[in-house]
């Protein structure tokens, strides 16, 4: 049984440098670190690849940048994912990254980037619903390719007003909700890799 820290990869479905979803998952990530997790933080553009086209893949294979993300996914035990809601659903950037990561590749097990990994989902939006409508869709996609999405998720409403310039969350309820997700993901992932 592995006796080590759970490794979590932080991915935001937003490409924006000032993304509120990135800020939200960072608050959760700090809580996960306190709960014993090691965090690998992607940069916003680390998930930006050409729109998936099977003709391109047939001609030139999976882009190097997508292969680099896949390597980080394979090393991770779980994912902490920021899920901006675009028109009631997952962002194109996040879905495209998932599509590239799901493709078969020489020397790998099918869906190796996803199977037996955990994930926690957080949405953040300036609106009143906090981007909650994209969460079931993202959960369904990831569950369908073998990732154990934890039962708890969190949608942060009014997200444009709760982060200070240094990224700290100034709203107690919001911070508690985000931290709960990070802590839960760290604890559940630790239990799974320990075989409990
Ligand atoms: C194409 C598009 C569609 C959007 N659709 C929604 C939506 O359905 N619900 C919502 O709450 N916000 C929606 N928004 C607003 C985003 O939630 C807002 O831009 C948010 O800041 C994006 O997350 P980010 O800051 O992490 O990039 C949309 C924004 C864009 C660009």
Pocket test for ligand 1, best of 14, 85, 154 (most atoms within 8 A of CB): 85
pLDDT of 104 > 80? The answer is: yes
- Contact yes or no for 15/44 (Cβ under 8 A): yes
Averaged pLDDT for residues 99-125: 97
Ligand 1 atom with minimal separation from the 131 CA:
11
Q: How far apart are CA 24 and CA 156, in angstroms?
A: 8
DSSP-based three-state secondary structure for 27: helix
Pocket lining for ligand 1, CB < 6 angstroms: 14, 16, 19-21, 84-88, 125-127, 129, 131
pLDDT tens-digit readout, 3-52: 899 999 999 999 999 999 999 999 999 999 999 999 999 999 999 999 99
- The reported pLDDT for the residue numbered 3 is 80
Residue 109 Cα to ligand 1 midpoint, Å, equals: 35
Ligand 1 atom with minimal separation from the 129 CA:
11
Residue 60 Cα to ligand 1 midpoint, Å, equals: 33
Q: How far is CA 84 from CA 66, 92, 140, in A?
A: 21, 10, 16
Closest residue CA from atom 28 of ligand 1: 86
Residues in the chain: 196
- The reported pLDDT for the residue numbered 2 is 65
- Contact yes or no for 22/34 (Cβ under 8 A): no
Closest residue CA from atom 17 of ligand 1: 125
Q: How far apart are CA 134 and CA 82, in angstroms?
A: 11
Question: Residue 154, Cβ neighbours under 10 Å: how many?
Answer: 23
Ligand 1 atom with minimal separation from the 18 CA:
25
pLDDT of 1 > 60? The answer is: no
pLDDT tens-digit readout, 54-84: 999 999 999 999 999 999 999 999 999 999 9
Q: How far apart are CA 11 and CA 22, in angstroms?
A: 8
- Contact yes or no for 1/188 (Cβ under 8 A): no
Ligand 1 atom with minimal separation from the 159 CA:
21
User: How is residue 179 written in tokens?
Assistant: 């931290």
Phi first, then psi: what are they for 72, rounded to 5°? -70, -35
Positive or negative, the CA dihedral 11, 15, 21, 22 is: positive
Closest residue CA from atom 20 of ligand 1: 125
Residue 89 Cα to ligand 1 midpoint, Å, equals: 10
pLDDT tens-digit readout, 117-169: 999 999 999 999 999 999 999 999 999 999 999 999 999 999 999 999 999 99
Terminal Cα distance for the chain, rounded: 9
Averaged pLDDT for residues 166-184: 98
Q: How far apart are CA 163 and CA 179, in angstroms?
A: 14
Q: How far apart are CA 11 and CA 13, in angstroms?
A: 7
CATH topology of domain 7-193: Rossmann fold (3.40.50)
Strand stretches in 67-142, DSSP E:
78-82, 118-124
């Amino acid at each position: 049984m592995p006796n080590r820290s759970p490794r979590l990869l932080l991915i935001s479905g937003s490409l924006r440098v000032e993304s509120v979803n990135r800020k939200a998952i960072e608050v959760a990530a700090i809580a996960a670190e306190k709960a014993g997790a090691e965090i690998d933080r992607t940069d916003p553009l680390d998930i930006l690849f050409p729109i998936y086209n099977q003709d391109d893949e047939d001609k030139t294979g999976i882009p190097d940048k997508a292969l680099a993300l896949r390597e980080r996914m394979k090393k991770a035990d779980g994912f902490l994912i920021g899920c901006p809601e675009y028109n009631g659903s997952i962002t194109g950037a996040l879905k495209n990254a998932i599509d590239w990561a799901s493709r078969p590749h020489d020397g790998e097990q099918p869906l190796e980037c996803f199977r037996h990994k955990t994930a926690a989902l957080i949405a953040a939006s300036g609106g009143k619903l906090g981007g909650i409508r994209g969460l079931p869709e993202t959960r369904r996609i990831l569950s369908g390719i073998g990732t154990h999405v934890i039962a708890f998720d969190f949608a942060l409403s009014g997200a444009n007003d709760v982060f200070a310039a240094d990224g700290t969350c100034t709203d107690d309820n919001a911070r508690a909700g985000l931290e709960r997700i990070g802590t839960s993901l760290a604890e559940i992932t630790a239990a799974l890799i320990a075989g409990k």
